[in-house]
């Protein structure tokens, strides 16, 4: 079950605009097969996308969807740097409800 953490770097003054692009994509991504979590967070400078997919194949399919391509195209020119993306495997230590992103 892959977990993805991505940090998106909007240019100064463009945080809200980039958030709006991602917010439009969220309901569409939630409908994709294998999407177990797709959530946005911010520290008021960057946007953090936290995702969990049922399988690596589901994640690969997501990365090839029109929604993914459209989102990338719409934020082009609004970012100060490429996104930092980590694809991780969960390590379920301790309480299963608290030890992994669910």
Each domain of the chain, given as residue ranges in start order, spans 2-89
pLDDT of 12 reads: 97
Q: Which pLDDT belongs to residue 59?
A: 97
Q: What is the model's pTM?
A: 0.91
Q: Which residues of the chain have pLDDT under 50?
A: none
Burial class (CB in 10 A: 0-12, 13-18, 19+), 20: exposed
Query: Positive or negative, the Cα torsion across 64, 48, 83, 70?
Result: positive
pLDDT for the residue 97: 83
**Angstrom distance (rounded) from CA 53 to CA 89:** 11
Residue 55 near residue 35 (C-beta atoms within 8 A): no
Fold observed for domain 2-89 = Alpha-Beta Plaits (3.30.70)
Q: Which pLDDT belongs to residue 100?
A: 83
Tokens of 4: 């993805």
pLDDT (0 to 100) of residue 7: 98
């Amino acid at each position: 079950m892959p977990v993805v953490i991505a940090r998106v770097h909007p240019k100064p003054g463009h945080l809200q605009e980039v958030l709006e692009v991602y917010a439009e994509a969220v309901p569409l991504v939630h409908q994709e097969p294998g999407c177990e979590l797709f959530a946005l967070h911010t520290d008021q400078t960057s946007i953090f996308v936290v995702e969990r997919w049922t399988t690596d194949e589901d994640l690969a399919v997501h990365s090839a969807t029109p929604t993914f391509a459209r989102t990338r195209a719409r934020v082009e020119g609004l970012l100060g740097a490429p996104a930092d993306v980590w694809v991780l495997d969960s390590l379920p230590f301790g309480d299963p409800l608290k030890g992994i992103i669910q």
